[in-house]
């Protein structure tokens, strides 16, 4: 079940909201936990058992660390329960690619490949693991209290509003709201509006551009136009798909009384790669900073160590995104290298690049990096790069001419407008009268109704970050 589906919109969400309103404050965490398990079990009852087990282990881990005093036992407890989460994640996420790589080496050496039944990755496992690890570390650091209620902790870790594809919610952000939170018309209406905006981003833009991306990345010898249309379409698709999910999750949380931080802040308007990672998938980038980069020494060590920390951190961030291709590792290393170059540029006090030029250069790098991120194989990425760098013809191929529809050009134009509109926000607010602004504020409802009609006609499309 996904948010942008008839099952969720017409069955699960209305039923849950009715129950949530009727049970009263005392039982809302229990209702949220139970319905979240139903939500996940709708996809896979078998993996629901795994998620329930991880919730129990996370709760027990917090209790064990909290009761272990100040000795070495405290560190061993932390290591044990982090190890459980990491080993579970690594098994489901990386066992296939490790075996595939070893089989390739064996074949190259003339031996038989390994007989292997592919392991299915449970959706949402990466987010659950990082949330549990952050809770355990925060309990160890004594920056958050131990949650002695399994119902409360389970509601935090298994909350359906962010269970599948984030944002990565830290316990510290919701600890007070797990005890007391509002459930009133003001929060509900504001949350519903955010949910409708996220739905429009996902369905009207991301899902409409998806076929263009699929056909462009499947071409044998894409032209310059084919490759760049496909790359730019994917750049918009990925943002509006993932940011749309985050907005929907934030909206659902607000409807229930939770205030989640924003997960995106106009990332395609960044003026550097460092700025990009302050704006893109903020819950992940800050998690990496606080629980990986800083503990490694961050920038408080020698310059060489700082660059190593950047590369290692971004390499692990790349690996976190996928276990079915080494392309994600290359993508992470590329971003790490770009961060090192940016830091090196600043350390030598080289001339500052004009803002417009820096925005264009940053976006160009991000788009080129998205190419290898989207490609299923390294050879596929090289194929797209050949087109992007003009090694094939320049005009649109017949396949793309036949395939692209006017609605997809419209979706691309709408996505581009929404991406650059924040640059003109102050100008728009000064020159539009209050009546026009009020009418414009009603667009989320129209967008939601159109999205609902499209879902009913063409079915639900899974979110891209489900695979991560």
Q: Which residues are catalytic?
A: 321
CA–CA separation, 134 and 5 (whole Å): 31
Instruction: Give kind and range of the element (H or E) at residue 75.
Output: helix 72-108
Coil, helix or strand for 83?
A: helix
Task: Answer whether 279's CB lies under 8 Å from 267's CB.
Answer: yes
Give the separation between CA 211 and CA 203, rounded to whole angstroms.
13
Between the two ends of the chain, the Cα-to-Cα distance in Å is 17
The CA-CA-CA angle for residues 31, 35, 39, to 5°, reads: 165
Contact partners, residue 1, CB within 8 Å, separation at least 6: 7, 8, 12, 39, 42, 43
Note whether 358 and 272 are within 8 A (CB).
yes
Handedness of CA 35, 37, 38, 43 (dihedral sign): positive
**CA-derived radius of gyration, the chain:** 23
- Is the Cβ–Cβ distance between 296 and 313 less than 8 Å? yes
């Amino acid at each position: 079940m996904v948010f942008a589906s008839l099952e969720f919109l017409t069955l699960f969400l209305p039923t849950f909201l009715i129950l949530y309103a009727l049970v009263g404050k005392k039982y809302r965490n229990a209702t949220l936990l139970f319905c979240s398990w139903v939500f996940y079990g709708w996809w896979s009852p078998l993996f629901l058992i795994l998620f329930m087990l991880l919730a129990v282990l996370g709760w027990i881990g917090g209790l064990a660390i909290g009761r272990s005093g100040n000795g070495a036992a405290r560190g061993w407890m932390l290591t044990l329960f982090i190890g459980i989460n990491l080993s579970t994640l690594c098994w489901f996420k990386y066992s296939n690619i490790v075996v595939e790589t070893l089989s390739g080496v064996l074949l190259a050496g003339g031996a038989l490949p390994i007989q292997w039944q592919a392991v299915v990755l449970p959706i949402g496992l990466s987010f659950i693991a990082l949330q549990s690890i952050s809770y355990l570390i925060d309990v160890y650091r004594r920056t958050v209290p131990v949650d002695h209620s399994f119902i409360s902790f389970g509601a935090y870790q298994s909350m359906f509003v962010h269970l599948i594809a984030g944002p990565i919610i830290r316990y510290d952000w919701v600890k007070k709201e797990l005890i007391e939170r509002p459930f009133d018309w003001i929060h509900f209406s504001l949350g519903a509006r955010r949910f409708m905006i996220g739905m429009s981003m996902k369905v009207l833009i991301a899902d409409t551009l998806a076929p263009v991306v699929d056909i462009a990345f499947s071409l044998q010898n894409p032209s310059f136009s084919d490759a760049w249309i496909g790359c730019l379409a994917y750049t918009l698709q990925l943002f509006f798909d993932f940011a749309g999910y985050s907005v929907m999750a934030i909206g659902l949380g607000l409807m229930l009384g939770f205030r989640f931080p924003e997960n995106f802040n106009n990332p395609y308007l960044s003026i550097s790669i460092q700025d990009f990672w302050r704006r893109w998938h903020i819950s992940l980038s800050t998690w990496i900073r606080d629980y990986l980069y800083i503990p490694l020494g961050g920038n408080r060590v020698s310059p060489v160590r700082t660059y190593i920390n950047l590369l290692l951190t971004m390499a692990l961030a790349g690996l976190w995104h996928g276990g079915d291709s080494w392309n994600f590792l290359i993508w992470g290393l590329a971003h790490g290298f770009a961060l090192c170059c940016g830091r090196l540029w600043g350390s030598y006090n080289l001339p500052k690049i004009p803002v417009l030029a820096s925005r264009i250069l940053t976006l160009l790098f991000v788009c080129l990096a998205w190419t290898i991120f989207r490609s299923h194989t390294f050879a596929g990425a090289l194929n797209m790069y050949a087109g992007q760098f003009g090694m094939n013809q320049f005009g649109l191929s017949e396949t793309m001419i036949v395939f692209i529809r006017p609605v997809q050009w419209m979706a691309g134009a709408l996505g581009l407008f929404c991406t650059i509109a924040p640059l003109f926000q102050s100008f728009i607010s000064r020159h539009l009268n209050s009546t026009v602004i009020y009418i414009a504020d009603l667009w989320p409802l129209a967008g939601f109704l159109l999205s609902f009609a499209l879902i009913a006609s063409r079915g639900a499309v899974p979110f891209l970050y489900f695979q991560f």
